[in-house]
Structure 1
Amino acid sequence: MTLSLFSQFSSPLMLGIPLMALALMLPWLLLLKPCTRWLNNRFLSLQNWFLNYFMKQIFPPMNLKGHEWAVLFSSLMLFLIVLNMLGLLPYTFTPTTQLSLNMGFAVPIWLSTVIIGLRNQPTIALGHLLPEGTPTLLIPVLIIIETISLFIRPLALGVRLTANLTAGHLLILLISSGAYVMTSLMPTIAVLTFTLLLMLTLLEVAVAMIQAYVFVLLLSLYLQENI
């Protein structure tokens, strides 16, 4: 039972091609490029409004150097949202349920923010490891604790995204399996279970969008500390 329950998180093959590779390529096909017309279509207008609202929420606290990351962060968030949303469709695979993929997104960007801080303002960057006014006896302990908390940040980003999506998919799988079994045995309870499944699916749509936003928001906070 355990193997069949968690087998949905292993990338299946279709004609010898891993579905994870197809899932990673699909979001780029869905994003439209700006056209040369005077008026954009509805999808482009909605996309531009969403990006402008997103950047107004994240980038005003930063200085002008942080605004250079707007294209990277907005593209990353759109990519994660599309991957998370497509994973809710039947017979699809969700790459963001894999910790290795999420760590591949989190570690390079987090490491680049740390390197930027050490290069541009090394005193301030190293000062984060030791709060001001720390007693002398606690200095070595606090340095070790702050260093561990610094290196655990990308792991927390990847685990947070993986755990939230994995938990939601497992709940949907368990509830749908129970509703299917009870369809012939207890139809009334099966209808109530399907209603619960529909509400859980809507919740997972919100979770898919919120987790992508939180992922990028935390990366922007790490960047803000080092610029």
Structure 2
Amino acid sequence: MTPNYFDQFMIPVFLGIPLALLAMALPLLLCPRPNQRWLAEPMINLQNWFIGQFVGQLLRPLSKPGHKWALLLSSLLLFILNLNLLGLLPYTFTPTTQLSLCMGLATPLWLATVVVGLKNHPTSAFAHLLPEGTPYLLIPMLVMIETISLFIRPLALGVRLTANLTAGHLLIQLIATGDDKLISMMPVMSILVSALLLAMTLLEMAVALIQAYVFVALLTLYLQENTSA
């Protein structure tokens, strides 16, 4: 029987209970709790430096009103990053390969940036729908195009994250299946394929990091557009 490679993206069920919530809660359980020995822990210091670098890079283009989102954006970055990396472990499930989860994260956050822009700078928010100096005949068409582009943003956020992780996991699965068939027939070729599989796994770890950063970075750009006067 030919296996269905997309079965790995189905939500696992144990005793009739979906385990997606457990997979989403695992990163929260792994986060260290505050204590007085934080400054003495090298790993904690490294983690704080890592978070500080990423958050500083994200907030650099933002105006001061957008800095209020620092805690939310940094928490979102760590949450998505942990979900992506933990999904690479054997016998685990990657919730971010589900479009419903990614859209559930992208849509409310995108809508929040739009609401912030309409509340604080309504004139500037509506001005983004029509570039300055547009000929009168093109105004209806450009307004329609910019409006569609605005509402496509959350879809692009969710689909980008889901598609990149799904493609990487599927490619690793295909290479691993081929390597399993080559062990008995062509051992030397199997070793080469195993090296390729290791390289693909390292690449997928980098993709997990990059996609988490890209997701939050695009949200930061949307926030910058709606918080700058």
TM-score, L = length of structure 2: 0.96
Which AA in structure 2 matches 1:150?
Answer: L
Do the aligned partners of 1:24 and 1:83 also contact (CA within 8 Å) in 2?
yes
- Structure 2: which 5+ residue stretches go unaligned? none
Read off the aligned partner of 1:197 and give its amino acid letter.
L
Cα distance in 1 between the residues matched to 2:37 and 2:200: 41
User: Which residues in structure 2 correspond to 1:54-73 (within 5 Å)?
Assistant: 54-73=54-73
1:26 aligns with 2:20: no
The CA distance in 1 between the partners of 2:90 and 2:66, in whole Å, is 39
Match in the other structure for 1:87: 87
CA distance in 2, matches of 1:117, 1:56: 22
Distance of 1:47 and 1:40 partners within structure 2: 13
1:186 corresponds to 2:194: no
Q: Within 5 A, what are the aligned runs for 1:40-59?
A: 40-59=40-59
Matched, 1:96 2:73: no
Q: Aligned equivalents of 2:200 and 2:39: distance in 1?
A: 38
Aligned to 1:154: 154
RMSD of equivalent CA atoms: 1.4
Q: Is 2:117 aligned against 1:117? A: yes
On the 8 A contact 2:38/2:44 being kept in 1, the answer is no
Shift of 1:7: 0.9
1:20 Cα offset (Å): 1.3
Change (3 A) 1:38 1:160: closer
Q: Which moved more, 1:1-10 or 1:183-192?
A: 1-10
**Alpha-carbon separation, structure 2, partners of 1:126 and 1:52:** 34
Whole-angstrom CA distance in 1 between matches of 2:112 and 2:67: 15
Gapped regions of structure 1 (runs ≥ 5): none
Superposed CA offset, 1:169-195 (max 9, x none): 000000000000111011111111111
The residue aligned with 1:39 is 39
How far apart are residue 14 of structure 1 and its match?
2.4
Q: Secondary structure at the match of 1:35?
A: coil
Aligned-residue offset at 1:5:
1.4
Q: CA 1:4/1:38 → structure 2, altered by over 3 Å: closer, same or farther?
A: closer
Runs of 4+ residues over 3 Å off in structure 1:
none
Task: Report the Cα offset of residue 201 of structure 1.
Answer: 0.3
8 Å CA contact 2:85–2:208 kept in 1: the answer is yes
| C-alpha displacement of 1:59 | 0.9
Contact 1:34 1:44 (8 Å CA) reproduced = no
Does the 8 Å CA contact 2:38/2:45 hold for their aligned counterparts? no
Per the alignment, in what secondary structure is the counterpart of residue 191 of structure 1? helix
How many residues align? The count is 227
3-state DSSP of counterpart to 2:39: coil
Q: Distance in 1 between matches of 2:58 and 2:118?
A: 23
Counterpart of 2:33 in 1: which secondary structure? coil
SS where residue 4 of structure 2 aligns? helix
Identity %, equivalent residues: 63
Deviations, residues 107-135 of structure 1 (Å, cap 9, x unaligned): 00100000110111110000000000101
Q: Identify if the C-alpha distance between structure 1 residues 37 and 195 changes in structure 2 by more than 3 Å, giving closer, same or farther.
A: closer
C-alpha contact (below 8 Å) 1:182/1:189 kept by paired residues = yes
Structure 2 CA distance, aligned partners of 1:63 and 1:73?
15
User: What is the TM-score normalised by the length of structure 1?
Assistant: 0.96
SS in 2 for 1:133: coil
